[in-house]
């Protein structure tokens, strides 16, 4: 079973509009972290936002917010006021547990294209 599922291979959004990128996850570990990364065509993975499984409030970082619905096991990324520079691949990732060998598991990504 996929641990991280991103069902939108590609999304289009107009400049200045908001967009939601979907992510669902599967884990039985009570302690986990959810991450979103942006990958421009240059290849570098840029950290955007983090949500811990015990966090009571949804994480926000500037124009990025994470809509965390624990019961539904979803962690959608919301980008407000899209900009042309937001065009990139976006990956949702999860780390399970803490301490040793806690790796990141990534989804297959969503390609976001921001249009004028």
Partner 1 sequence: ETGVTQSPTHLIKTRGQQVTLRCSSQSGHNTVSWYQQALGQGPQFIFQYYREEENGRGNFPPRFSGLQFPNYSSELNVNALELDDSALYLCASRPGLAGLDTQYFGPGTRLTVL
Residue 37 Cβ, how far from partner 1 at the closest point, in Å? 7
103 contributes a contact to partner 1 by CB under 8 A: yes
25 contributes a contact to partner 1 by CB under 8 A: no
Distances (CA, A) of 98 to 10, 18, 29, 93, 102: 32, 33, 10, 15, 6
When binding is defined by CB under 8 A, the residue of 7, 14, 80, 98 that contacts partner 1 is: 98
1 contributes a contact to partner 1 by CB under 8 A: no
Pairing of strands 110-115, 88-96: antiparallel
| Torsion angle in degrees (nearest 10) through CA of 49, 53, 54, 59 | 20
100 contributes a contact to partner 1 by CB under 8 A: yes
When binding is defined by CB under 8 A, the residue of 31, 58, 67, 74 that contacts partner 1 is: 31
Q: In this complex, which beta carbon is closest to partner 1, that of residue 41 or of residue 116?
A: 41
Residue 19 Cβ, how far from partner 1 at the closest point, in Å? 20
Alpha-carbon span 53 to 95, nearest angstrom: 10
Asked whether the CA dihedral 7, 103, 55, 65 is positive or negative, the reply is negative
Residues in contact with partner 1 by CB under 8 A are 4, 31-33, 35, 37, 42-47, 50, 52, 91, 93, 95, 98-109
């Amino acid at each position: 079973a996929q641990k991280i599922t991103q069902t939108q291979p590609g999304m289009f959004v107009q400049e200045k509009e908001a967009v939601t990128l979907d992510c669902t996850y599967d884990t039985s570990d009570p302690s986990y972290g959810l991450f979103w990364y942006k990958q421009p065509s240059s290849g570098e993975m840029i950290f955007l936002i983090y949500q811990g499984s015990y966090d009571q409030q949804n994480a926000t970082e500037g124009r990025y917010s994470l809509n965390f619905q624990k019961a539904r096991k979803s962690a959608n990324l919301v980008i407000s006021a899209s900009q042309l520079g937001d065009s990139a691949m976006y990956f949702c990732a999860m780390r399970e547990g803490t301490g040793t060998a806690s790796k990141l598991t990534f989804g297959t990504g969503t390609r976001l294209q921001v249009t004028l």
